[in-house]
Amino acid sequence: MTKEITRTMHQKITCRIQVLTSSTAGEQVESWQDIASIWADVVAKSGDMISSSRQSRLVTSYRIRVRYQDKLLATRNILWQGKPLRVVSLLNPDNQKRILEFKVVEDTP
């Protein structure tokens, strides 16, 4: 099964962690630091309409599969095709440390 999944990993993604720093005014400023650029299998799963502040927008969710690496467990954001994707969940589906599966949504302002 792992060989079948890894054969479909032809999309380049960048896994990132959140970094909080203090500004000169004492506020926390959020930025993203790259952990790794890796090959992945990216599949669109659903598109949902989200309403907030009298505005509706379409939010797409994706499933992303990558080869397991311990350092990727800290991933909170993924950059794919220039789009930031927010990690909603992380799963090691076979419990064998072979594959990591992220559920992500488009991180739009």
User: pLDDT (tens digit, 9 = 90+) per residue, 7-57?
Assistant: 678 999 999 999 998 888 888 888 999 999 999 999 988 766 555 566 666
Share of the chain above pLDDT 70, in %: 80
What is the band of 3 on the pLDDT scale with cuts at 50, 70, 90?
low
pLDDT for the residue 55: 66
Going from N- to C-terminal start, the domains of the chain cover 2-106
More confident residue, 108 or 61: 61
Q: Which long-range contacts does 78-86 make (Cβ < 8 Å, 24+ apart)?
A: 78/13, 78/14, 78/15, 78/16, 78/102, 78/104, 79/13, 79/14, 79/16, 79/32, 80/11, 80/12, 80/13, 80/14, 80/40, 80/42, 81/11, 83/107, 84/32
At 9 the pLDDT is 87
* Residue in the structure block whose two tokens are 């559920």: 103
Using the predicted structure, report yes or no on whether residue 59 has a pLDDT greater than 80: no
- Residue, of 6 and 45, whose pLDDT is higher: 45
Name the CATH architecture for the domain at 2-106: Beta Barrel (2.40)
